[in-house]
A and B are shown apart, each in its own frame.
Chain A
Amino acid sequence: MVSPDWLALAPHGILGLTAMVLLLYDMIDPDSRNRLALASIATVGSLAALAASAWLLAVGVGPSESVSLFDGQLVVDGVALFFSVVFTTVAALVTVASYDYLADHSYQAEYYSLVVLATTGMVVLASANSLATAFVSLELVSLPSYALVAFLKTNRGSVEAGTKYFLIGALSSAVFVYGISLVYAVAGSLHFETLAAFFAEQGIEQAGVFGLGIVMIVGGVAFKTASVPFHFWAPEAYEGAPAPISGFLSSASKAAGFVLAFRAFNVAFSLDIAAVSGAIDWALLFQILAVVTMIVGNFAAAVQERVKRMLAYSSVGHAGYVLIGLAAITSGGAGGNSIVMGAAMMHLLVYGVMNTGAFLFVGMAEYWGVGRRFEDYNGLSKQAPMACVAMAIFMFSLAGLPPFGGFFSKYVLFLGAIQAGFWWLAAIGAVTSALSLYYYSRVVKAIWIEDPSADFRLRGRPVGLYAAVMLAGVLTVALLPAFGVGIEAAYDAASVLFA
């Protein structure tokens, strides 16, 4: 337990402060070229926030007791801290990798501060306990993201992607906030627990308005998690953005969307009330989204010619797997629910590391200027064997092959779905995973088996990128022995939501 209570906000505070420090640094020394200082501040801030989250978990915030702050607007519990670990880990990897990636760019301080601000938004979102804080923090995640995607100002692709992302994002935010207003119209409150108490007491009288609100809130979540049909921005944004930002968005930002959904739908609009009263069975809604997302994401990824775009679609597909964590929720099945949601959280953690690593490898390829297509990667292992080992690990782990972390997280997820009675969700997941092996192994084949098409020399060894890729690789492997610990923490955290 922590005392005073506000210490539980250490991760949030540290990240916010780090962003301020970065801006202050920029104020004192505008147009700074000191990349090392900027990247270090951002990385140290992220790691400090990571350490703070871990410390809070260690002293028992989360599984045993949650801390409620600002009149219940924010809550720090196991779920919030588990996701804080995911966000800060990814942020640290991304800031380390950006050190090299941004070598020749200006506006570096802005870049790092935007990354840290977005991370702050994610951490706040993970703790958000009312629809109002949720919306504000969601915007705090989104707005820096639009700017970051368009960061390569002279690159048409980057700017175009940023614009599209912003337009779709604006639309989705509008849908989301409208949904919130409808729920407020029904219940007269935005606070999750108050909503839950209200529905439990009064029942749902205006089922139509409520249902409309719920579907629209799902729309807002689906945008953030890049779930079909709100995914259209994702392939373009991920492809156009700087590769570290693609990794950041597709891992951390996606997880942020999920944490909002996990909390809102299980605390405020619990299925026991929403579905039983006949207003709306949102589990069915998530089942539809999960199936469509798994299928569209994986099938589209299979026919891509460019590696980064393939990864973009694969990240859409992975959103589909995580959606199983919501789709397999059953009314009254508390134990099974926390298992399947815990598995989804664990998948987000494993996925966060391996997917970021994969995008960072692409970033390294961009840094070397080897081209974007599968063929351009031919024979890379001859030049950069260690990084290619890591990439092969990412690919096989993403595909869910044993003995990597991705296998176990998918395994417990599908197993949880089967135990909850949704064997067909698990079956679609397994079939699409099999398909995913096809396109992931194309990368491995290119870098390891094919001969280099042209005689090229890679310029330099980008230390930061290398370190980040290797670190992600080590983490992907290390999550194997640590899997038991992680999944237990995830189960414990998830069970709080169903208490």
Chain B
Amino acid sequence: MATIGEIAPAIALLPLASFAVALASVVFAPRLLQKGGAIPGILATAGSLVLSVWAFVHVGGGEPIEQELLAWAAAPDSFELTLGVLIDPLAALMLVIVSLVAFLVHVFSLGYMNAEGETGLHRYYAELGLFTFSMLFFVMADNILMAFMFFELVGLCSFLLIGFWFREEAPASAAKKAFLVTRFGDYFFLVGVVGIFAAFGTGRFVGSEGFPHLAEEAIAEGHEILGMSPETGVMVLGLLVLGGVIGKSAQFPLHTWLPDAMEGPTTVSALIHAATMVAAGVYLVARMFGFYALSPTLLAIIALVGGFTALFAATMGVVKDEIKQVLAYSTISQYGYMMLGLGAGGYVAGTFHLMNHAFFKALLFLGAGSVIIATHHTHDMWKMGGLKEKLPVTYYTFLAGSLALAGIVPFSGFWSKDEILYESIVHGLGTDGGLGVLLLLAFAFGLLAVFFTGFYTFRMVALTFHGEPRTEVAEDAHGVGWSVKLPLIVLGVLATVAGLVNMAPLDVEYLHSWLDTTEEAGLLTSAHHYEEVLHDVAHVEAATLTPIATAAVSLGLALAGALAAWRLYGSDPQPHTDRLGSIKELVGNNYYQDEYQVWLAEGVTLPLSRAADTFDQVVVDGVVDGVSSVSLFSGRRIRRIQSGIVSNYVALLTAGLVVLLVTFAFMGGWF
């Protein structure tokens, strides 16, 4: 009997197999697979889920899984490039989340894609399989180069799935935008990967040979990193990698791709937002938290970007009319919270929110998907209303997700969001210097965003489910099948209770101790180790403050936002946004983020590229052409020496000899 330690790669390889099966069936036997290839995908992700749970239990026994799969390039005396599997508590947790959400999304797709008579289903399921495979291997990656490779594959799969309806203009353009914007961040990531290899000679995440620990030693001993002081070196490398994170996790200012990505199928949105693409960025920060925790500057930047993004995106979510748009901005905002948590030194808090968000955001998207198919593909919330009675399962589960998103006790989001805010204020108050001040600022952003979150969430619930049906489609909304309801119920339960695993204000900290499970194994990835690093290297201190206080304040704000939305939109809603005046313009246009980025591309980059092109065409090509003309010309000249007359040859030969003789005679001083 194989152990999970041996067959761990199968967790990711099963979805790859479903990808291969779906692809092969398109080519060889299009009619062979019923349901457009859904069955292999469901089986594969179910298998992944079972294996992930097995791995989770195994890791829970205190022993992480480490396995080197392949050394695909080795340079003697410098470094090896390898593929390997690492499952520590963090990875085990993430594996369960990813495979669970992927499995539920596959099941839901039966109702969302198959039942709606979509075409191209083989392609859909093949891409879904590849997507899941990439994300699972990304989660299990034991070194940063491997992580980068699968990070890129995740990006590619998002491109393919967002552009699933590629024959229409909007999805195709959204797919390109998602690909290009995230790629912009990934350039920095790639440079960072190379830099990490150059500086430390390894890309390993964990252990005393891993680069976070080597960096820690470099700082302790004052060794230079890439010719810079160790603190600066860590900061530069961390920032470069952070570029990829900001792109993938849609943080300000690279968040603009995410709302457009709503053009893809809603199931894909659920997968992208909850467990794969967007989660990859934050997961990477958590994965190499031992590195980020070394630099107060990096922590401050992460926290500030996160806190700002949380507030910024939440304000935009307030004015959106389409249900998926609201959810898109809520995703950006929630990942901002995770970044805030991690930046504030709350490794457990950030991970906790990553987990909770995966459940409730998958739930909300699938719920939105259910609403959309029930209302014959209506996205605009103003055309809905009164769906509560028609879709009871959807309503109650969606409500659970909304309460979790808004952060209302005791739903999951409350606990993790509160822990993030608590971590940021106690570390902000306790830490001296700039980091403390910036953490407090980030905390203020995050706290303010709680109000907006409550507002837009309940505005969405009210507009969609409450009041009277406002259009015919809402009136004759039809019910949905079991394949839709089942995932909703599973996720609804999880969104309600998942938060109970780490109720910090009540001193229930199962997740915290879970992340410490394998501390003995020397991976240096335990929450406890990170706390030490934060304290010793980055000098992050905690002030004493009762957690009840922040919990009460954030709950109060969330309730205030929810109640305000309820009053304005609860029954007989009116578009109140006009009252905002010019602010509406600003927020409605997403603060002109797209416009300025387009201007950057068209107004700055394009002329620069044109200039470079002109330089290439005229100067570089000119030189190249010139060289070849000169070569051929001189070649013809040289050829002419070969006259065919042997006495000429003899003369030239003798002349050459004489020239050489005279030259060397002068140089050697023979006379």
Contacts and interface: CB of A to CB of B under 8 A. Distances in A.
A438 B630 CA distance: 14
Interface stretch (A60-68, A135-143, A205-213, A397-405): A205-213
Interface string A271-288: 000000011110011001
B638 A219 contact: no
30 contacts: A167-B650, A168-B646, A168-B650, A171-B653, A207-B668, A207-B670, A208-B665, A208-B668, A228-B656, A229-B652, A229-B653, A229-B655, A229-B657, A232-B652, A236-B642, A278-B669, A280-B667, A280-B668, A281-B668, A296-B638, A299-B634, A299-B635, A299-B638, A300-B635, A300-B638, A300-B639, A303-B636, A303-B639, A304-B639, A438-B628
Contacts of A233: 649
Contacts of A216: 657
B395 to A, nearest CB: 65
Interface in A79-113: none
Given A230-B653, A233-B649, A302-B631, A288 B660 contact: yes
Given A299-B631, A299-B634, A299-B638, A171 B664 contact: no
B635 A303 contact: yes
B636 to A, nearest CB: 5
A230 B665 CA distance: 20
Contact of A281 (B628, B631, B667, B670): B667
B671 interface: yes
Contact of B635 (A172, A212, A302): A302
A280 B670 CA distance: 9
B660 A208 contact: no
Given A211-B670, A285-B664, A230 B636 contact: no
Interface in B605-664: 628, 631-632, 634-636, 638-639, 642, 644, 646, 649-650, 652-657, 660-661, 664
Nearest to B648: A232
Contact of A175 (B632, B638, B649, B657): B657
A215 interface: yes
A279 B668 contact: yes
Q: Which 10 A-B residue pairings sit nearest by Cβ, starting from the closest?
A: A229-B656, A208-B670, A232-B649, A303-B635, A299-B635, A302-B635, A300-B638, A164-B646, A211-B668, A280-B668
A285 B668 contact: no
Contacts of B654: 171
A235 interface: yes
Contact of A300 (B642, B646, B669, B671): B642
Given A299-B631, A303-B636, 10 more contacts: A164-B649, A207-B669, A208-B671, A212-B661, A212-B665, A215-B661, A229-B652, A281-B668, A300-B639, A302-B635
Interface size class of B (residues with CB under 8 A): 20 to 34
Given A168-B653, A229-B652, A229-B653, A278 B668 contact: yes
Contacts of B671: 208
Interface of A: 163-164, 167-168, 171-172, 175, 207-208, 211-212, 215-216, 218-219, 228-230, 232-233, 235-236, 278-281, 284-285, 288, 296, 299-304, 435, 438
A288 B632 CA distance: 22
Contacts of B664: 211, 215, 280, 285
A300 B656 CA distance: 18
B670 A235 contact: no
B648 to A, nearest CB: 8
A167 B631 contact: no
B665 A211 contact: yes
Contacts of B653: 168, 171-172, 229-230, 232
Contacts of B669: 207, 278
A25 B650 CA distance: 40
Contacts of A229: 652-653, 655-657
A301 B635 CA distance: 7
Contacts of A208: 665, 668, 670-671
Contacts of B638: 296, 299-300
Nearest to A163: B646
B661 A435 contact: no
Contacts of A279: 668, 670
A208 B666 CA distance: 10
Contacts, number: 85
A235 B661 contact: no
B632 A303 contact: yes
Contacts of A207: 668-670
A89 to B, nearest CB: 30
Contacts of B660: 215, 218-219, 285, 288
A301 B634 CA distance: 11
Contacts of B649: 164, 168, 232-233
Contact of A212 (B646, B667, B670): B670
A232 B650 CA distance: 8
Contacts of A218: 660
Contacts of B628: 438
A340 B668 CA distance: 26
A209 B660 CA distance: 15
A171 B668 contact: no
A216 to B, nearest CB: 8
B642 A302 contact: no
A262 to B, nearest CB: 20
Contacts of A235: 642
A316 to B, nearest CB: 11
A164 B643 CA distance: 12
A394 to B, nearest CB: 22
Contact of B650 (A163, A171, A236, A299): A171
Contacts of B644: 236
A339 B650 CA distance: 36
A295 to B, nearest CB: 8
A435 B652 contact: no
Contacts of A300: 635, 638-639, 642
A301 B189 CA distance: 47
Contacts of A303: 632, 635-636, 639
Contacts of A164: 646, 649
Nearest to A299: B635
Nearest to A223: B653
A436 to B, nearest CB: 11
A451 B634 CA distance: 31
Contact of A302 (B632, B661, B665, B670): B632
A232 B643 CA distance: 10
Contacts of B656: 228-230
Nearest to A278: B668
A218 B661 CA distance: 11
A165 B41 CA distance: 76
A294 B354 CA distance: 65
B665 A219 contact: no
A216 B628 CA distance: 36
A347 B639 CA distance: 26
A212 B664 CA distance: 9
Contacts of A163: 646
A296 B653 CA distance: 14
A230 to B, nearest CB: 6
A467 B640 CA distance: 38
A435 to B, nearest CB: 6
A377 to B, nearest CB: 20
A230 B660 CA distance: 12
B671 to A, nearest CB: 7
A96 B664 CA distance: 46
Nearest to A292: B656
A216 B642 CA distance: 23
A288 B657 CA distance: 12
Contacts of B646: 163-164, 167-168
Contacts of B635: 299-303
Q: Which of B650, B669, B670 has the most CB of A within 10 A?
A: B670
A483 B632 CA distance: 34
A435 B631 contact: yes
Q: Which of A207, A212, A284, A300 has the most CB of B within 10 A?
A: A300
Contacts of A171: 650, 653-654
